[in-house]
Chain A
Amino acid sequence: MTAVLEARDMVIRKGGRRILSVAHLTVEPGEVLAIIGPNGAGKSTLLTALACLDLPKSGALFFHGQRVTRANALAVRRRLAVVFQEPLLLDTTVLENAAVGLKLRGRSREAEAKARAWLERFGVLHLAAQPALTLSGGEAQRVSLARAFALEPEVLLLDEPFASVDVIARAGLIQEFKNVLGSTGTTAVLVTHDFREVSALATRVAVLAGGAVQAEGTPAAIAAHPRWGALAHPGSGINLSAFLSILQKPT
């Protein structure tokens, strides 16, 4: 089966500096790929590259086997959805926020009904008429997730989506998100720092460090990977023992 997304020798530069260099990485249909790694590893850069928001300077990104170029990037982006760490809602109502992606795709007729359905799924339909900028962090992130799912994306790309949600609300939201992923079978790429999210959600893990993929495999295989030692040096930002213990005992 062709990968939904495939990066080959993908290099991203910023300010003349090479930020990311991925020899090969695929996102397979139906999987939840977690991207983990220390701060500054290039995780967010990789996510924006996979979301076709930053085209590689060299190498290539493929969507269903078709190379993503400047000419078709918009069409590909319209088959994806991205949820960032901050909810990044527009200065309008909650409903309008959830519907805006479909409206941009010229699907205005179904936009409102779909938006309502997804707001309900994430438990924020009662806020539909409210100005989005008055919501709490947790509510706003639920709206952001509803906005992404309303697009029925082929791949959902998430950059630490639960980091801005307080600890009490987080566990519930992760569980709801997991249920939705399970019921829709949406392919997802999840950048995270939280190993509990990895064990709860991921079917495969890619470890990024120094802008390159250092290891990839199932959460259990990654936990047992011999190269972890090299990545767990002080200051790398990875708590290896916590990671191992959580991955080996999935919640």
Chain B
Amino acid sequence: MDLVVQGLAKAFRLLVSGDPEVLQITFLTLRVSGLATLISLGLGVPLGLYLAVARFRGRELLVGAVNTGMGLPPTVVGLWVSILLWRNGPLGMLNLMYTPTAIVIAQAVIAAPVVTGLTMAAVQQLNPKLRLQVLALGASPLQFWWLIIREVRFGILAAVMAGLGSVISEVGASMAVGGNVRWYTRVLTTAIVLEVSKGNFDMALALGFVLMLLAYSITYVLTIVQQRRRRL
């Protein structure tokens, strides 16, 4: 219990004193996971919309792959992205291994199936006739998709929260492709692992509290937006 109290106190001190390394790690975590979530939205929302509406041969295979992808082990993603970005790998010439960009790529791969799957589920929960009604209202293809996205906006918001939650908390991929390089690719989760391995439990706890605070703050804002509808 003392350890937890010490950890909390240390977290408070670190935040109040503005410890430069903790701030750098926190901002990098925010930047990397935020960017990865944005990329996963760019990929996942259109794919989720398409899979929910389209009927084509092999659709079930693709939907099955997306659903499986929602539980992709970050370590496995880290391994595959490492193979791709390794010096001798197919994308080795980009020199991205052990950079924040490599972490963004790996985290986007982790979050994209989550966003795709949840977007697809949100659209499939709509009354199928609503799609017909939107077309009957005179919507062009672009207007049609815009109105459907607006109808499932709260589902997409849930997808954002789940996608962000899945990447901000992962450690395997960040460690594998980022390398936990101090002042460069160290994020909150990899820093926690390092502190635990060194036996610095109070520091690990402090970083853990920062991570939880960060995740909670972002999710809280999104939740406020999502729940506003209930008051209508």
A residues sitting closer than 8 Å to B (CB atoms) are 48, 51, 53, 74, 77-78, 80-82, 84, 86, 88, 90-92, 100-101, 104-105, 131, 134, 147, 151
Contact = CB atoms under 8 A, between A and B. Distances in A.
B6 to A, nearest CB: 49
A186 to B, nearest CB: 16
Interface stretch (B74-82, B132-140, B172-180, B186-194): B132-140
Given A77-B138, A90-B147, 10 more contacts: A51-B136, A77-B135, A77-B136, A90-B130, A90-B151, A91-B150, A91-B151, A92-B150, A147-B137, A151-B137
A74 B143 CA distance: 12
B129 A78 contact: no
B1 interface: no
B143 A104 contact: yes
A100 B135 contact: no
The 10 closest A-B pairs by CB, nearest first: A82-B136, A78-B138, A88-B133, A131-B232, A101-B137, A104-B138, A88-B130, A104-B139, A104-B143, A77-B138
Interface residues of B, number: 18
A196 to B, nearest CB: 25
A74 B147 contact: no
B132 A53 contact: yes
A74 B140 CA distance: 7
A109 to B, nearest CB: 17
B127 interface: yes
B107 to A, nearest CB: 31
A77 B138 CA distance: 6
A194 to B, nearest CB: 20
